[in-house]
């Protein structure tokens, strides 16, 4: 959902386009003159401004001066003739998009879906969304490539912050579908409204259903439905989802006619397969419907080689947004690469954003905080690890080995290297622990 300012002196266009954008779930503020637009936009932030260039009381571009977050607002000019595009581009630069009359839904959707550079696509991005050149990411790209050629449902698994929605969007882009990418968070649905959100409802189906509403399955027709936090869906609601997936049909609440559905379902969870099975977060039959093609997204600490390219990508993004030229010192880069990033790529982006805001005005370099750790950091988890009075040397050694293995997701070879022991020694220690009482 985006905040949009729409400015045009044609009242018919203004009304219909406002209603159309609202139906597409965006919030729209409209104005028919430059003066009115300046008044309603003063001090407000917008994601997107759609303007008529030539207005009766002046240039539509004057409106931009009133907007709070001008640098982060995308600007689109509505024009009747494509030739205006090149003239305006010379005058106002390349960071302006265009809608050429007569405008249709496809033009509008393309404009609002394209969140990245209005110009050329970023070649560093895989499938237009993913950053990273590590072996684990290339394995992921290979899986995306394979699954994109099929209609199989995908279950994405990975820790919080690894970018599950970004991977889902990459699968959607790689599949080149005709329909839209529709994200929905199963953990955020109100319990009583889950069926309505998924399958839609007819007017009068329940108190408050004043209009017919399409569900996310219908909205994702010929596209991709992304069901985030799928394991948060109450178990008693899961048979309805299972039935829709099995029959490829849905019925709106209060409706009688079935609607054929045709979309790929990509679902995601931050729970492990063991937890899903043992704790019963998902019904077994639903799990197999959703996880036709399961994909594990690696945590950032297992692809620390990607940290520099991710930082470069985030820095370029912030530099473009804020029209700056901030860089990073080699020492800081090494510090960021050594940290374990328990919050994964999300935490790294947040840290770069913070350091960007704190950047030194003279040197134009990022300024990192003294302590990178977040309340969710592994450092916190390992507080019990270490030397305390009363512990034996064997206890401390065992804790160190177990923490190292946990940190490296069980990779014994890397753990042995990190601990400075041979792989054989590590195995000997682990065997001796398994012979002891489990802890």
Whichever of 16 and 135 has its CB closer to other proteins, that residue is 16
Quote the least distance from Cβ 151 to other proteins, whole Å: 23
The C-alpha atoms of residue 350 and residue 314 are separated, in whole angstroms, by 10
Quote the least distance from Cβ 78 to other proteins, whole Å: 8
Quote the least distance from Cβ 255 to other proteins, whole Å: 10
DSSP H or E run through 319: helix 307-322
Considering just the CA atoms, what is the radius of gyration of the chain in Å?
26
How far is it between the farthest Cα atoms of the chain? 85
HSE, CB side, 13 Å, CA atoms: give it for residue 336: 27
Whichever of 19 and 115 has its CB closer to other proteins, that residue is 19
Quote the least distance from Cβ 48 to other proteins, whole Å: 17
- E strand map for 218-370: 224-228, 249-251, 258-260, 264-269, 293-296
Whichever of 85 and 378 has its CB closer to other proteins, that residue is 85
Whichever of 129 and 201 has its CB closer to other proteins, that residue is 201
Quote the least distance from Cβ 80 to other proteins, whole Å: 4
How far, in Å, are 23, 162, 348, 350 from residue 345 at the CA level?
33, 5, 5, 9
How far, in Å, are 109, 292, 399, 414 from residue 423 at the CA level?
55, 36, 17, 9
Whichever of 104 and 370 has its CB closer to other proteins, that residue is 104
Whichever of 17 and 195 has its CB closer to other proteins, that residue is 17
Whichever of 12 and 375 has its CB closer to other proteins, that residue is 12
The C-alpha atoms of residue 156 and residue 168 are separated, in whole angstroms, by 8
> Which residues contact other proteins by CB under 8 A?
10, 12-13, 16-17, 19-20, 23-24, 80-81, 101-105, 108, 202-203, 211-214
Q: Find where tokens 């990411």 sit.
A: 137
The C-alpha atoms of residue 326 and residue 248 are separated, in whole angstroms, by 51
| CB neighbour class for 432 (10 Å; exposed up to 12, middle 13-18, buried from 19) | exposed
**Two structure tokens written together for 10:** 């044609």
Question: What is the Cα 176 distance to its own chain's centre?
Answer: 19
Whichever of 25 and 384 has its CB closer to other proteins, that residue is 25
- Taking alpha carbons only, the member of 136, 157, 138 closest to residue 266 is 157
Quote the least distance from Cβ 10 to other proteins, whole Å: 6
The C-alpha atoms of residue 403 and residue 397 are separated, in whole angstroms, by 10
Quote the least distance from Cβ 334 to other proteins, whole Å: 52
Quote the least distance from Cβ 364 to other proteins, whole Å: 45
Quote the least distance from Cβ 19 to other proteins, whole Å: 6
The C-alpha atoms of residue 438 and residue 295 are separated, in whole angstroms, by 31
- Beta-bridge mates of residue 119: none
The C-alpha atoms of residue 153 and residue 210 are separated, in whole angstroms, by 33
HSE, CB side, 13 Å, CA atoms: give it for residue 436: 11
Whichever of 252 and 398 has its CB closer to other proteins, that residue is 252
DSSP string, 174-185: HH--SS-EEEEE
Is the link from the previous residue into 102 a cis peptide, with omega within 30 of 0? yes
Quote the least distance from Cβ 32 to other proteins, whole Å: 14
Whichever of 212 and 350 has its CB closer to other proteins, that residue is 212
Whichever of 108 and 244 has its CB closer to other proteins, that residue is 108
Q: Find where tokens 């560093």 sit.
A: 124
6: Cβ contacts below 8 Å, ≥ 6 apart: 14, 17, 18, 21, 28, 29, 30, 31, 50
Quote the least distance from Cβ 98 to other proteins, whole Å: 14
């Amino acid at each position: 959902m985006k905040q949009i300012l729409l400015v045009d002196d044609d009242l018919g266009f203004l009304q219909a386009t406002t209603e159309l954008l609202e139906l597409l779930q965006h919030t729209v503020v409209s104005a028919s003159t430059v003066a009115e637009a300046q008044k309603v936009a003063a001090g407000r932030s917008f994601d997107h401004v759609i303007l008529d260039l030539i207005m009766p009381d002046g240039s539509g571009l004057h409106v931009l001066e009133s907007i709070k977050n001008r640098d982060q607002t995308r600007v689109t000019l509505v024009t009747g003739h494509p030739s205006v595009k090149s003239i305006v581009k010379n005058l106002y630069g390349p960071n302006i998009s265009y809608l050429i009359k007569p405008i249709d839904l496809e033009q509008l959707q393309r404009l609002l879906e394209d969140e990245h550079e209005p110009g050329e696509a970023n070649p560093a991005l895989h499938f237009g969304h993913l950053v990273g050149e590590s072996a684990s990411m290339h394995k992921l790209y290979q899986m995306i490539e394979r699954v994109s050629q099929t209609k199989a449902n995908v279950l994405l698994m990975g820790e919080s912050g690894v970018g599950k929605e970004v991977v889902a969007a990459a699968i959607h882009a790689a599949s080149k579908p005709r329909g839209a990418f529709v994200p929905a968070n199963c953990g955020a649905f109100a319990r009583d409204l889950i069926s309505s959100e998924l399958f839609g409802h007819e007017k009068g189906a329940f108190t408050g259903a004043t209009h017919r509403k399409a569900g996310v399955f219908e909205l994702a027709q010929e596209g991709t439905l992304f069901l985030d936090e799928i394991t948060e869906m109450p178990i008693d609601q899961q048979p309805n989802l299972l039935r829709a997936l099995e029959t490829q049909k849905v019925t709106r609440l209060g409706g009688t006619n079935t609607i054929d559905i045709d979309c790929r379902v990509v679902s995601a969870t931050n729970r492990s397969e063991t937890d899903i099975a043992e704790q019963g977060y998902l019904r077994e039959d639903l799990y197999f419907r959703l996880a036709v093609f399961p994909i594990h997204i690696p945590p950032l600490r297992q692809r620390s080689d990607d940290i520099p390219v991710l930082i470069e990508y985030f820095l370029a993004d912030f530099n473009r947004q804020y029209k700056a030229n901030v860089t990073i010192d080699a020492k800081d880069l090494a510090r960021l690469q050594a940290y374990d990033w328990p919050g994964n790529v999300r935490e790294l982006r947040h840290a770069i954003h913070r350091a960007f805001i704190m950047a030194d005005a003279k040197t134009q370099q990022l300024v990192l905080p003294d302590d990178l750790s977040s309340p969710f950091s592994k450092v916190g988890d390992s507080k019990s690890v270490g030397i305390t009075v009363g512990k034996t040397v064997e206890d401390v050694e065992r804790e160190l080995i177990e923490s190292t293995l946990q940190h490296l997701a069980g990779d014994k070879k890397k753990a042995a290297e990190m601990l400075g022991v041979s792989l054989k020694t590590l195995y000997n220690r682990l065997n001796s622990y398994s012979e002891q009482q489990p802890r």
